[in-house]
Amino acid sequence: MGGHQLRTRLFSSVLQRSQDNLPPTQPGRMPVFQGTGKSPSGGPHWYRERYGTEPHPACRHHTARRFEKLVKAALFDLDGTLLDTPSMIVAALREETIRVTGRRHSDDRIRALVGLPLDDIAEALADKDADHANRIASGYRRRYIERIVPTGVGLVFPFVEVGLKQLREAGWSIGVVTSKNHQGALEILASAGLVSAIDVVVGADDVADPKPHPVPILAALKRLGVPPKYAVMVGDSRYDIQSGGRAGVRTIGVNYGVGRASDLAEAGAGSVHGSFQGAVGELGKCFPTHGRRTFAAIATERKGF
């Protein structure tokens, strides 16, 4: 038998063994698991339990990438991080405060409150007068629905859509953690055309203790199934950074919203960037060896979380 014939027979034999390792429901295709990354018993060896064999070496990087998408999360604040809404929020709160109380607060004072739940902001602007605070909050909600929500598509900061797409393609789960109520967040995200890019939304009314407490971040991670050690919070206010730090996640500040770089750094931000593109670039540096961990290690972490 000539050398060429021998090589041909050897290649055919290897190819046949490769095909034998493929799932019977997917002839001629590399197996890519589309489920949760867990076997029916919840263990790490879902592929072996599903197909009765180990994955072919040529396919392992595909299964690893599918699993990796479930185990790191980028969480974003909404106002001032994804959407350029702070100036409109400040104007609406200023007008409502004047209408209800007759007092005019400086824009800087109001801006410093943005990032807290609306009821807390209204209470501060009303000097803790409960009736005035309720009226300010009610009037603001009306202005928000009438004036801010309809303009959502024009409020998306540069590179946000592209950046979210890049993160998803790189295996990140995406969450929004905001001090808006849940429905208000969904309305503005829908208007901005960003709903399909988000895996989970946690609003102030979804938890007992909103930002700057760690509870909303931990709630988002629980829904995503991601441990805090593999998550990053990105925000433009000190409340975002404080919440992230208390939740045990990495934090990235952006200073194009309401917070100054010095304030974000003082709050504990790991880094501060002047653009969303810069923040996405920083996210790309996080967890550089994350994809090389074994299935068993990842599954153990998820089970413990």
Task: Please name each of the domains of the chain with its CATH number.
Answer: 73-84+155-288 (3.40.50.1000), 86-151 (1.10.150)
Q: Look up 206 and say whether it is catalytic.
A: no
d(CA 225, CA 203): 18
Q: Look up 79 and say whether it is catalytic.
A: yes
d(CA 233, CA 275): 15
Residues 6+ apart with CB under 8 A from 161: 193, 194, 197
Residues 6+ apart with CB under 8 A from 155: 83, 84, 85, 88, 148, 188, 192
Helix, strand, coil shares, percent, the chain, to 5: 55, 10, 35
**pLDDT, position 63:** 44
Catalytic residue among 77, 206, 236, 240: 77
**Percent of the chain with pLDDT strictly greater than 70:** 71
**pLDDT, position 303:** 56
Q: Hey, how many other C-beta atoms are within 10 angstroms of the C-beta on 246?
A: 16
**pLDDT, position 52:** 55
d(CA 115, CA 263): 14
List, for residues 287-304, the tens digit of each pLDDT value.
875 544 444 454 555 555
**Percent of the chain with pLDDT strictly greater than 90:** 70
**What's the gap between Cα 44 and its chain centre?**
25
Query: Could you give the strand order of the β-sheet that contains 200-202, starting from the edge strand earlier in sequence?
Result: 200-202, 173-177, 73-76, 231-235, 250-254, 271-273
**pLDDT, position 47:** 46
- The arithmetic mean of pLDDT across residues 30-38, rounded, is 35
Catalytic residue among 20, 79, 206, 209: 79
d(CA 160, CA 198): 12
